[in-house]
Structure 1
């Protein structure tokens, strides 16, 4: 399938004669942080420590940095005695997907979403399925100048109802994600965060205030798994889920089941009991199949029977909308009315079949309201995956904070 071209803003340079990013630069130079880089912006999520280091406050990793050091995520680092984001406006993997691929089964079903990511991640999952992006240190190879206005315009031109920050995690580029979301909102386009939910309270509040929907990747329901396999902490992710429950953000949850790691009946049952108590029965839960990847290539694929078993356990504990993913399972991908039990959205992979909801999300059989965001008839995007090639044009818009980013000599603090 060929790619679709859309217009994109050209790079904004801070001075004449600046070389294109990456041109003639050594690896050491590419790692160097500088506010002279037009894709580096100042941030607010940090504080000074008594020993002279600066602590990044975006996520629980709390990287404590000397001048010139980067955090574990690689895209945030210390320069000129502040924490900066070095990937603002740099993106990759532009593609129009079905919204169900995020996965979001109860958010504007059947509609197209413009998906993209950046580089880096604040977790270190040994099983990462997107490791070529999340572990990438090649920031200079990302698309240049994918500014907020340009991305909003691209989504509009492509007929997308929403835009998704995915592949790695918007937590680490939240300033960029928030600006893109604002630009999209001006055009009636929704913003979707696909995230591991490993984020601190203030940054969490700010990021999700700009989002319309989210899928949170709950890696397991074990602190041991999080510590040994992701190098993170479960409690912080549960805090994010609790927070989202108190907002207007529509969210769904995904757990990748890995054979012998997080797929025991006991762990699944404990996860579902917590889910029912804290989030309620109507938040969708997706159990998806693992494939060998990154540093866990010695573990076999998840058998479909494991996903069906997990789904059965979840439904027995009162969860209404439980799905299976990464396998062909018509029953496990169908939405059923929790009131009358009739199928209301039948899916074949990402293709919608029989659709039995009213425009505002009520079951046509019994009239019960189905939890989710339903706005008119379903889309017909189907299972298509349309790569997008962005073409430079135009200029910066009002939502692009690069236009206001301070230079090192300005003496200004953050840009927010």
Structure 2
């Protein structure tokens, strides 16, 4: 636990007082138990007197308009721009974190931009974004800010996207995802040892979130697994992961295998070979998954979407740029009429690979 909360103190939800006088945070399965002045492991949820507060409400590590494919979401409004932002802190301790400068930072170190939920929604609409993404660090730890922003976004006709590790408590899960339209969940590996040793969490809690999203919500779901050489890329583990997704979530949930690069506290391992991603994709498709993608490498076949009915190219992709569109106005294959699961406009977006940093001020 950490002491002395600083900065803006916004009332947090999902906590209760324990018999011994400590406050238990219930937003995630860590259930941090806090004395006055202490912070949870995420560092941004803190006890102030007899209340739990969020210290990062209304403050961000930055805003940027990205292609939706960068989240990654390949079956959700392809080609459209999404306004992305995060705050600081995280409730996992992944030694390979690719955004460690944000997720591992104290909010006073990294939060240089500020905006109210209404300002974020208005700016996203002004920039002709179709959605807003809560990303960079995990939105679970800034749940109150994300939900309030999501409410404002829906008032502007915008969709809401969560990019998350899915490490969230049951009650918080129900509230948070009620305001989301799409989610990409990091399934970091398929062994408890990996989650325990490299992430400081538990696999079962993430699997519960995935099952909940698929079977108890209308949130469009995609999954990403970052493949780390020698850690989570064996044939057996990949086959088990893919078989679980096919059985528990169904064959239509898109699965992204992405390439690792040395970062944070896992710098002794080299980059993921492209061949590993191709092998993982083949294993997952053999397990019955229809939409399996590769990421962080240049692989047009691995990044494109094909009809599971006739094999026609439905959405061609070169990195984040769309190169082909084989869907009719109803989101089905023009060649054979097979529907493609997801959310699609009659025409694809044309945002391409652009990245547009945005500065928001109060």
What range describes the TM-score normalised by the shorter chain of this pair? over 0.9
In the alignment, the residues of structure 2 paired with residue 141 and residue 319 of structure 1 have an alpha-carbon distance, to the nearest angstrom, of 39
Are residue 310 (structure 1) and residue 280 (structure 2) matched? Answer: yes
Gap regions ≥5 residues in structure 1: 1-27, 393-416
1:275 match = 245
2:5 match = 33
Structure 1 residue 80, shift from structure 2 partner: 1.6
Are residue 155 (structure 1) and residue 124 (structure 2) matched? Answer: yes
In the alignment, the residues of structure 1 paired with residue 330 and residue 160 of structure 2 have an alpha-carbon distance, to the nearest angstrom, of 20
Gap regions ≥5 residues in structure 2: none
Q: Matches of residues 16-415 of structure 1 in structure 2 within 5 Å?
A: 32-33=4-5, 39-139=8-108, 141-246=110-215, 247-392=217-362
In the alignment, the residues of structure 2 paired with residue 385 and residue 186 of structure 1 have an alpha-carbon distance, to the nearest angstrom, of 25
In the alignment, the residues of structure 2 paired with residue 173 and residue 391 of structure 1 have an alpha-carbon distance, to the nearest angstrom, of 19
Structure 1 residue 144, shift from structure 2 partner: 4.9
Structure 1 residue 358, shift from structure 2 partner: 1.4
Deviating beyond 2 angstroms after TM superposition, the runs of 4 or more aligned structure 1 residues are 31-34, 138-141
Structure 1 residue 143, shift from structure 2 partner: 3.5
Structure 1 residue 49, shift from structure 2 partner: 1.3
Structure 1 residue 389, shift from structure 2 partner: 1.5
In the alignment, the residues of structure 1 paired with residue 16 and residue 151 of structure 2 have an alpha-carbon distance, to the nearest angstrom, of 26
Cα root mean square deviation, aligned: 1.2
Structure 1 residue 141, shift from structure 2 partner: 4.6
In the alignment, the residues of structure 1 paired with residue 113 and residue 273 of structure 2 have an alpha-carbon distance, to the nearest angstrom, of 41
For normalisation by structure 1, the TM-score amounts to 0.85
Structure 1 residue 140, shift from structure 2 partner: 5.9
In the alignment, the residues of structure 2 paired with residue 285 and residue 250 of structure 1 have an alpha-carbon distance, to the nearest angstrom, of 13
For the residue of structure 2 that corresponds to 1:94, the secondary structure is: strand
In the alignment, the residues of structure 2 paired with residue 376 and residue 365 of structure 1 have an alpha-carbon distance, to the nearest angstrom, of 16
In the alignment, the residues of structure 2 paired with residue 391 and residue 258 of structure 1 have an alpha-carbon distance, to the nearest angstrom, of 39
Q: Which fold has the larger relative contact order, with Cα–Cα distance below 8 Å and residues 6 or more apart in sequence?
A: 1
Q: Is the 8 A contact 2:58 2:116 kept in 1?
A: yes
In the alignment, the residues of structure 2 paired with residue 253 and residue 368 of structure 1 have an alpha-carbon distance, to the nearest angstrom, of 23
Q: Is the 8 A contact 2:62 2:112 kept in 1?
A: no
Q: Is the 8 A contact 1:129 1:293 kept in 2?
A: yes
Q: Is the 8 A contact 1:33 1:77 kept in 2?
A: yes
In the alignment, the residues of structure 1 paired with residue 111 and residue 46 of structure 2 have an alpha-carbon distance, to the nearest angstrom, of 18
1:408 match = none
Number of positions where the alignment pairs a residue of Structure 1 with one of Structure 2: 360
Structure 1 residue 44, shift from structure 2 partner: 2.5
In the alignment, the residues of structure 1 paired with residue 9 and residue 48 of structure 2 have an alpha-carbon distance, to the nearest angstrom, of 10
